Chains A and B, each alone.
Chain A
């Protein structure tokens, strides 16, 4: 069990702080498609943020601020709910 901490090095009650938590980059599972937004069409309605099952839509205050591709799985929900056609799916790597 190498790498495990002794009890003296644990937070009280085993509280897990951010630096101690494993933070897997689940965007590696993406289907091959990723969302891309045309900001000239975006009206900051934030429906994409509301629907995203992976909290992979980034905000700047109440404004759309792009996608967190480290966690986006390419499910296409954001593109499906976008009322202005701002979001479309493109091939990963393009």
Chain B
């Protein structure tokens, strides 16, 4: 079920995430500002100043410090959230790995933005791909509404005793963070009841039961701890679906690891992450109306990667076309490589780097096989 327009408010994705943060009311929020994440932390700071949120907002000196403080707060026993983008995530990357390995259930908003260089502020997914293997969960929203829904869901997933991992809610910079859409909110008290109390197995401030956290691990234990981390994120996929079903009872909307759109009987299908699915759905509708057997598979849970669901969804598709909003210079684009690994040979296109628009006409060309590998690039040769 879609957003109920009669009950919706007009909010940007950033504002919608602020509303979710205000309702969750985390204990600690260490942040450093960076475009296009800024409206999220500005809006949250205003909620504190207005007495509508009660967290301890720490203005740290860098994103490296933001995640370091977030890990410490989460380990101490405080529900902790933060937010970043692009270069901020690049600087934070070292500590994102530490957060995952210390199993710190920090929730982070990521306004996806191209990595330098050249320096740019607009959307692509190269920042997310940089921390692909960090062990953190990454959920990609399609819209402001889903940015809100996933943010409400995130603490439950992060703090689940079988998960205990950072959860990053990825929202396309500007396209979602700064664009206003109708967003339906759940009542404050329902969100509070949904997220519940923050509980972790070994809070550092439980001084009656002292623990060592983040211990050195030599060759006799490092491998075991990496395996444990892999099991936690693999297992989180089932918990994501279960928590999403519980949230659906409040919202009437269902987040899922993957979303299939008019995929029944489709011979050709696009596969993508994030807001591009909105454009893709319009093009699929248009081509379906013209009698073409096309569909869309949108991946919401990029980490963990729902390989089985993707294989099943694409089982009857002859031509799976993967759209990557990031490149791997000298190698295969990350999503294409991984969908190919899960579901067999795919067609690969890169698009939208540094905020380059992707037009419906581009996607019609992609379906028709008349687009070059780099969609929307000037003078890009098309396949014969």
Contact = CB atoms under 8 A, between A and B. Distances in A.
Interface of A: 1, 4-8, 10-18, 21
A21 B220 contact: no
Contacts of A14: 101, 214-215, 217, 221, 225, 228
Contact of B228 (A1, A4, A10, A21): A10
A17 B228 contact: no
Contacts of A21: 212
Nearest to A12: B103
Given A7-B225, A7-B227, A7-B231, A13 B220 contact: no
Contacts of A17: 202, 209, 211
Contacts of B101: 13-14
B212 A7 contact: no
Contacts of A12: 103, 164, 201, 228, 232
Contacts of B215: 14-16
Nearest to A4: B220
30 contacts: A4-B220, A4-B221, A4-B224, A7-B224, A7-B228, A7-B231, A8-B228, A10-B224, A10-B225, A10-B228, A11-B202, A12-B103, A12-B164, A12-B201, A12-B232, A13-B101, A13-B164, A13-B213, A13-B214, A13-B225, A14-B214, A14-B217, A14-B221, A15-B202, A15-B211, A15-B212, A15-B213, A16-B213, A17-B202, A18-B210
Contacts of A18: 209-211
Interface of B: 101-104, 164, 201-202, 209-215, 217, 220-221, 224-225, 227-228, 231-232
A28 to B, nearest CB: 23
Contacts of A6: 224
The 9 closest A-B pairs by CB, nearest first: A13-B103, A16-B212, A7-B224, A12-B103, A7-B228, A7-B227, A13-B102, A14-B225, A15-B202
Interface SS majority for chain B = loop
A7 B227 CA distance: 7
Nearest to B204: A15
Nearest to B230: A7
A5 B217 CA distance: 13
B235 to A, nearest CB: 12
Contacts of B103: 12-13
Q: Of residues B101, B214, B227, B228, which shows the largest number of chain A Cβ atoms within 10 Å of its Cβ?
A: B228
A15 B103 CA distance: 9
Contacts of A10: 221, 224-225, 228
B220 to A, nearest CB: 6
A3 to B, nearest CB: 10
Contacts of B220: 1, 4
Contacts of A1: 220
A6 B231 CA distance: 13
A84 B228 CA distance: 56
Nearest to B162: A12
A6 B220 CA distance: 10
A65 to B, nearest CB: 18
A30 B236 CA distance: 51
A14 B104 CA distance: 12
Contacts of B202: 11, 15, 17
A70 to B, nearest CB: 17
Contacts of A7: 224-225, 227-228, 231
Given A10-B228, A17-B209, 13 more contacts: A1-B220, A5-B224, A7-B225, A7-B231, A10-B221, A13-B164, A14-B215, A15-B201, A16-B213, A17-B202, A17-B211, A18-B211, A21-B212
Contacts of B224: 4-7, 10
A49 to B, nearest CB: 18
B377 to A, nearest CB: 44
A78 B103 CA distance: 42
A18 B209 CA distance: 7
B104 to A, nearest CB: 8
B239 to A, nearest CB: 14
Nearest to A18: B210
A67 B284 CA distance: 78
A69 B174 CA distance: 65
Contacts of B212: 15-16, 21
A67 B264 CA distance: 76
